Amino acid sequence: MPARRKPIRVMLVDCRPLVLIGLHDLINARKPQMEVSGQATTYTKALDLADQLRPDVIFFSFFPDALNPLAVVAGLARSAEMKVLVLKGLYEVVPVAQAIEAGARGIVLAEDPAESIIRAIIKVYYRDIGLDRAWAGGLSDYAATGHIPWKCNLEQAKQARLTLRERELIRAIVGNPSAKYTCIAGHLGISEHTVHNHLSNIYQKLNLINRIDLLMYAMNHGLTHNDEPPEST
């Protein structure tokens, strides 16, 4: 018997419960062709969940959040296996061209028929890039304004993957570089084992080797005072 093809695993990123419910029902109705593997209502959660689940397609919406959405798109798109599909409302202001620069593989309108949204998921999964009328229209507007493209900054993409707790740990280490891990753990109200786990994740996300590297990186890239990644330029 031929091997059964695995379903396309889709992760949803949106802050609106009704949108999440609608997409969840729409996609799961197409089992076993595709299924929802996870949902996130904040960008920090989206980055963490994507690392855990490694979905095939990430349905991504732009909304107010502590993290820069373009940097988050870049962070998610760093993995070639995970393809970002942006959901845009007809009257929503979404930087289409910048999203493409950041690594989005497709853009669809929320007002499009259900079949169009399903086809967009399939197209993005099986092909490199899919263009639709929302994407093309955004590119035309972008070309007319003559704006400089948003360049995907690798360091911003890496920093966007940091959780708020990991940023808090970085600030604690920078604030007292000679402190022992037990002291840092007590200051943050977590166990020493959790500190080591967070540091391991930080080193992996930022491509660092040790605590000295982390201190230098944090000082050079502004990770010492606030929870938000640097603004894109």
Cα–Cα distances (Å) from 105 to 15, 74, 122, 138, 223, in that order, read 21, 11, 12, 14, 30
Cα–Cα distances (Å) from 74 to 91, 116, 180, in that order, read 24, 25, 34
The answer, yes or no, to whether residue 226 has pLDDT greater than 80, is no
- pTM summary value: 0.59
Q: Taking residues 84-100, what's their average pLDDT?
A: 82
32 prior amide bond cis, ω within 30: yes
The answer to whether the beta carbons of residues 170 and 223 sit under 8 Å apart is yes
Kindly report the average pLDDT of the chain as a whole number: 80
pLDDT at 149: 41
The answer to whether the beta carbons of residues 104 and 77 sit under 8 Å apart is yes
pLDDT for 149-197, tens place per residue?
444 456 777 788 888 889 899 998 888 877 888 888 998 999 989 998 9
- The band of 59, judged by pLDDT with boundaries at 50, 70 and 90, is very high
In the chain, what are the domains?
Answer: 8-145 (3.40.50.2300), 162-220 (1.10.10.10)
Supply φ then ψ for residue 34, to 5 degrees: -150, 160
- The band of 49, judged by pLDDT with boundaries at 50, 70 and 90, is very high
The answer to whether the beta carbons of residues 12 and 49 sit under 8 Å apart is no
pLDDT at 88: 86
pLDDT at 217: 83
